[in-house]
Amino acid sequence: MKRRDFFRSTAFLGLASIFGTDRIRAIGSTEMAVVQTPDLVAVMGGEPEDMLVKALNEMGGIKKYVKKGQKVVIKPNIGWDRAPELAGNTNPKLIKKLTELCLEAGAKEVIVFDHTCDNWQKAYKNSGIQDAVEAAGGKMMPGNDQSMYREHAFPKGKNLKKALVHQAILDCDVWFNVPVLKNHGGSKMTISMKNLMGIVWDRQFFHANDLHQCIADSCTIDKKPALNIVDAYRVVKTNGPQGRSASDVALLKTLLISPDFVAVDTAAVKFFNQVQTQKLEEVKYIFNGQDLKIGTTNLDAINIKRIKI
């Protein structure tokens, strides 16, 4: 068996072990079933753009979320001055396709931004995301200028009660949260919940006031993303969140999508264990989020659809 085929087969079996085979089935089955929108879709084995189309079709299609004339925001992880092959940022092919789909659905404009850790111009350019978005007809917006943030309340948060939130989020009609699945030294994992640190200005407050609780608190925002789209095409399995070399990266060709922060992050951590051990209970913000009632860690209680391309 070729190495790439081995990883494809083991990852697919990993999805089955995570989600169970009695409750989910691969696409293409002739079995008749009542059509029901899944709570979570897991797609495996394709290119980022193909997996996105498959997942969105299962979720009801892009027009379910984007209406004609709306202002749309896409929030990837573009934190680092890293090439796409190093998986420090969300895959540019995924962001390009999502931008195209939103515009095809009639979006007035599609804005993409992140509050980067490295120099934002270099991160935007070298991640490949700027070129991808502009080629698709979208617009890049900086996230590293405090004047672009406005104070917003988080009344349901425990530690985070208010924060400066980027105006792109506050002013849009709909937004999509599109993180990349990565190992992280401080929070253990970077997935959909932690990706919201990129919509606020003062991230030092998070680190000084219980990082895991503040991450969960940020997800109580009243303007939640329409969908959390987790890029697991390439994942940083070690030395995250940047990675040091290609040896830190695993090619898994997978995408997870759900409106539920907690469920999709739970599934992503379990899937991550196919390449690197990470105890779910150590990713404390996931359980903090469940305590705040923004989602569930009980994957047996939700409707999950698995697709193999």
Whole-angstrom Cα distance, residue 155 to residue 214? 13
pLDDT, residue 225, reads 98
Q: What is the pLDDT of residue 125?
A: 98
- What tens digit of pLDDT does each residue of 98-136 get? 999 999 999 999 999 999 999 999 999 999 999 999 999
**CB contact at 8 A, 189 and 265:** yes
Give CA–CA dist 285/302, Å, rounded: 20
Determine the Cα–Cα distance for residues 51 and 193; give it in Å rounded to an integer: 21
Q: 185: pLDDT confidence band, cut at 50, 70 and 90?
A: confident
pLDDT of residue 263: 98
- Residue 288: the pLDDT is 98
What would the pLDDT profile of 288-309 be if each residue is shown by its tens digit?
999 999 999 999 999 999 999 9
Q: Mean of the pLDDT values across residues 82-92?
A: 97
pLDDT digits (tens, 9 = 90+) for 20-75: 543 444 444 444 445 689 999 999 999 999 999 999 999 999 999 999 999 999 99
Give the number of other CB atoms < 10 A from CB of residue 78.
32
Show Cβ contacts of residue 259 under 8 Å, excluding neighbours closer than 6 positions: 39, 224, 225, 226, 227, 228
Question: Domain spans of the chain?
Answer: 3-22+36-308
- The whole-number average pLDDT for the span 188-204 is 97
The CATH T-level fold of domain 3-22+36-308 is Rossmann fold (3.40.50)
pLDDT tier at 189 (50, 70, 90 boundaries)? very high
Per-residue model confidence as pLDDT tens digits over 215-274: 999 999 999 999 999 999 999 999 989 888 999 999 999 999 999 999 999 999 999 999
What are 133's two structure tokens? 């978005």
Report how far residue 215's alpha carbon sits from residue 210's, in angstroms, rounded to the nearest whole number: 9
Task: Give the three-class secondary structure for 194.
Answer: helix
Stretch 152-156: mean pLDDT: 98
pLDDT for 19: 61
Helix 284-291 to helix 211-218 angle, to the nearest 10 degrees?
A: 50
User: What is the average pLDDT value for the chain, to the nearest integer?
Assistant: 92
pTM of this structure:
0.91
Mean pLDDT (whole number) for 178-184: 96
